[in-house]
Chains A and B, each alone.
Chain A
Amino acid sequence: QSVLTQPPSASGTPGQRVTISCSGSSSNIGTNTVNWYQQLPGTAPKLLIYNNNQRPSGVPDRFSGSKSGTSASLAISGLQSEDEATYYCATWDDSLNAWVFGGGTKLTVL
């Protein structure tokens, strides 16, 4: 059972917009910044979004992040087949004194 709650799966067709949610609490998302990671099959995760809504250099602007209260979201617009991956949210939890992750959302491009 992950501290941050994500839907286990999501899907969309090429060109569509997909949103992945990440729900937490006042001790984690409510207080700290959220990062998102993309994990392509068989590879290590890669930083996708940091500080709630910032994109690292090289990440397409099709990817965007937001945070409101104790929840965060990752949006992918103009969905492409190469976006098929598992996406994880992460943040620091002040009560647990630990980095916590969501359980991951496997995105399928139909």
Chain B
Amino acid sequence: QLQLQESGPGLVKPSETLSLTCTVSGGSISSSNYYWGWIRQPPGKGLEWIGSMDYRGNTYSNPSLKSRLTISVDTSKNHFSLKLSSVTATDTTVYYCARWNSGYYGSGSYFKSPVDLWGQGILVTVSS
């Protein structure tokens, strides 16, 4: 069964770059049906989409984060990554890696895809 696992530092200093990796196990990252990306959730608060990317490089980013955001997919390592630059305390949240599945019910559209797979989440704290 395919699983996602986030990894990276749990503490990042203000103004630095937050870097996380999500390892895909039990299956291939290279499917035309899948978009891979990130969603975050401040402790005790709601969900915020960060961005998504397919294995071919088609990328969608939250406009509010786009200027600081880099998402990449490494098919050779079967993982994808998030880099968020110039972080502040407001970037302190739980980060989830996730899979959007456009083939879930045959819609074929990223914009109609549900997130059908989530990582367990990783808390990243921005503090000096």
Q: Which residues of A contact B (CB under 8 A)?
A: 2, 32-33, 35, 37, 43-47, 50-51, 54, 56, 88, 90, 92, 96-104
Given contacts A50-B105, A54-B105, A98-B62, contact A104 B118 (CB under 8 A): no
Q: Which residues of B contact A104 (CB under 8 A)?
A: 46-47
A35: B residues at CB distance < 8 A: 114-115
CB-based contact A101/B48 at 8 Å: yes
Q: Using a Cβ cutoff of 8 Å, how many contacts connect chains A and B?
A: 58
Chain B residues in 8 Å Cβ range of A44 = 96, 118-121
Chain B residue nearest to A102 (CB atoms) is B46
Classify chain B: how many residues form its interface, as a range.
20 to 34
Please measure, in the bound complex, the distance between the C-alpha atom of A46 and the C-alpha atom of B119, giving whole angstroms: 10
* Nearest CB on B from A31, distance (A): 9
What would 26 A/B residue contacts be, using CB atoms closer than 8 Å?
A: A32-B111, A33-B107, A33-B112, A35-B114, A37-B115, A44-B118, A44-B120, A44-B121, A45-B115, A45-B118, A46-B118, A47-B114, A47-B115, A47-B116, A50-B104, A50-B116, A51-B105, A56-B116, A90-B47, A90-B115, A92-B111, A98-B63, A101-B47, A101-B48, A102-B46, A103-B46
Interface residues of B in 46-87 (CB under 8 A from A): 46-49, 52, 60, 62-63
Beyond A50-B104, A100-B49: 15 further Cβ-contacts under 8 Å? A32-B112, A37-B115, A44-B96, A50-B116, A51-B105, A51-B112, A54-B105, A92-B111, A96-B63, A99-B52, A99-B62, A101-B46, A101-B47, A103-B46, A104-B47
Known interface pairs A88-B46, A96-B63, A101-B48; A50-B119 also in contact (CB < 8 Å):
no
Q: How far is the CA of A82 from the CA of B107 in the complex (A)?
A: 31
Instruction: Identify the closest chain A residue to B119 (Cβ).
Output: A44
In the complex, A17→B46 CA distance in Å? 24
Expressed in whole angstroms, the minimum distance between the Cβ of B76 and any Cβ of chain A is: 27
Give the complex CA separation of A33 and B121 in angstroms: 25
CA distance A2 to B49 in the complex (A): 12
